[in-house]
Amino acid sequence: MNPKKLRQLKKATKKARTTAPAPYIAQLTRYRDLFDKVPQVKYLLNAALLDDQLLKSGLLPQPLPKLLLPDDIQTVIFNQLAAKYPQGDATGDRLWDQYTAALPKVDALLRDYRDYLEETYGMWSFTNVSFISSLSDYLKGAPVLEVMAGNGYLSKGLKDKRPTQTVFTTDSTAWVKENQTGRHPVISIEPLDALAAVDKYADQVEYVIMSWAPDKGEADWDLLEHLREHYPALKLLVIGEKDGATNSKRFWQEAQLSQDGLAQVNAALKSFDLIDEQVYLAK
């Protein structure tokens, strides 16, 4: 199934639930404790929990491993239990039943981690510290305008990395009523839509950064056309999933994309799930 459709289906399923589950982080914590003696599972749960704590503390998250259970996890667990408990041992049988019943739930929770970040922090692109470091090195202190900045994680990361860098952070705040985007800014954000922001700051920046433009409407395409017509010297960096969860269909069809010089930046972005977000130069 297309990742975008899968995410839409999951969100529709969530809305249809009649009973509220335990809070997401509480569920991760409970399963982390259950799988305390299974390092292959505990490692993934701990990684997600650590990044949540960092975000709660106002810090950027660390890079994550793929939050997917190993294909052979049941075999691994069976062998671990068999090595510790003789066949027919009641404790081993009880643990096996607990683990096998919990694994599908753990798998679903790990796959929902990006949804949790979006719904709780308004973080769409996974702006981790390694990615910001590589992006900052790529930009080399050049002045930047971020449009559609959401809660401003990317801009804040760049400013924390290079406090003297000029970074203008803007967002239309059009999505505030629909989700957490713009509700909990981590940096001062100027309420401007993308075209107005470019018109205001075009003569002061070298790069425009557009991250995770929505797939509803064609604001991304309007921005690219505007740059082509009025500010062709400006460089547009786009962060998103080509032909997937972000941006309009027309943008991906019409934009001239390049990843020259961006190999290290993309390696640091490192998706933790099935969303293949990448950084592109777009003309």
Are 111 and 161 contained in the same domain? Answer: no
Q: Are residues 160 and 275 in the same domain?
A: yes
226 C-beta neighbours (distance < 10 Å), count: 16
Whether 280 contacts 257, CB under 8 Å: yes
Quick one: pLDDT at residue 17?
45
For the stretch 154-206, pLDDT in tens is 999 999 999 999 999 999 886 655 555 556 899 999 999 999 999 999 999 99
Averaged pLDDT for residues 52-75: 96
User: What are the tens digits of pLDDT across the range 79-97?
Assistant: 999 999 998 899 999 999 9
pLDDT for 270 equals 87
Its sign, for the CA torsion 182, 187, 192, 196, is negative
Where does a domain end: 121, 137, 167?
Answer: 121
* Shared-domain flag, residues 133 and 264: yes
| Burial category of 153 from C-beta neighbours within 10 Å (exposed 0-12, middle 13-18, buried 19 and up) | buried
The tally of domains found in the chain comes to 2
CA separation for the pair 34, 267 (Å, rounded): 33
Name which of 194, 116, 108, 106 is nearest 150 in CA terms. 194
Q: Six-digit token pair at 26?
A: 């509480």
> Which residues are within 8 A (CB) of 237 and not within 5 positions of it... i.e. 6 or more apart?
207, 208, 209, 210, 279, 280, 281, 282
Tokens standing for 130? 């390694």
CATH number at residue 270: 3.40.50.150
* 270 and 253 together in one domain: yes
Asked whether residue 148 falls in the same domain as residue 215, the answer is yes
- The encoded tokens of residue 62 equal 């660390």
Q: Residue 22: pLDDT band by 50, 70, 90 thresholds?
A: confident
Amino acid symbol at 7: R
* Residue 182, domain extent: 129-282
Mean pLDDT (the chain) is: 91
Exposed/middle/buried for residue 9 (C-beta within 10 Å: 0-12, 13-18, 19+): exposed
Residue 18 has pLDDT above 50, yes or no: no
Domain stop point among 95, 121, 147: 121
The conformational region for residue 150 under phi > 0 = left, psi -120 to 50 = alpha, else beta, is left
The per-residue pLDDT for 184 is 81
Question: What pLDDT is stored for residue 16 in this prediction?
Answer: 41
| Average pLDDT of span 58-73 | 96
pLDDT in tens, 116-155: 999 999 999 999 999 999 999 999 999 999 999 999 999 9
Helix then strand then coil, in percent of the chain rounded to 5, is 50, 10, 40
Residue 99 pLDDT > 80, yes or no?
Answer: yes
Whether residue 124 contacts residue 212, with contact meaning beta carbons closer than 8 Å, is answered with yes
**What pLDDT score was predicted for residue 152?**
95
The domain boundary, picked from 86, 121, 156, lies at 121
